[in-house]
Amino acid sequence: MINVLLVTPNRQNFAELSSAIEKQNGSVIWAQTGDNALEMLKEKSADLVVADENLGDMTGLEFAERLVALNPMINCALVSSLSKEDYHEASEGLGVLMQLPPQPRQVDATRLMTHLNQILGFTSAVEKP
């Protein structure tokens, strides 16, 4: 089972993403702010962290910078409304797994989980949307 930490001040933003991850045998835990998520990750590890674009106390990109300093081995995906080029420039060097659109949908979760399974070396099939 893949442990996924979703970081957002508004769970509704990740409602479809959360549901799709759970359907694909993922275990979801939640944090409302970047600081809350970083504190949680000091105590308990996650296979993947997905951070919203704005976390209330910091941006998703700022969170990724702090996450890399805390544990560079945790996989991270970020929600961003930036263009692909601007996002690549802003996130370069952070080791971010994937850019997700605002309010990610099931197809985004499937893409994300497939990519994560490949990285982690899992061979189980991921459910198609």
Domain with residue 96: its CATH number is 3.40.50.2300
Per-residue pLDDT at 127: 45
Q: Model's pTM, two decimal places? A: 0.90
- The answer to whether residue 7 is domain-embedded is yes
Alpha-carbon span 13 to 30, nearest angstrom: 12
Helices (H), the chain: 15-23, 34-43, 60-70, 84-91, 106-120
| 18 in Cβ contact with 6 (< 8 Å) | yes
- The answer to whether residue 125 is domain-embedded is no
Closest by alpha carbon to 60, among 30, 100, 23? Answer: 100
pLDDT tens sequence across 21-33? 999 888 999 999 9
| 120 in Cβ contact with 2 (< 8 Å) | yes
pLDDT tens sequence across 106-125? 999 999 988 888 888 865 44
**Number of compact structural domains in the chain:** 1
Per-residue pLDDT at 108: 94
pLDDT tens sequence across 8-62? 999 999 999 999 999 988 899 999 999 999 999 999 989 999 999 999 999 999 9
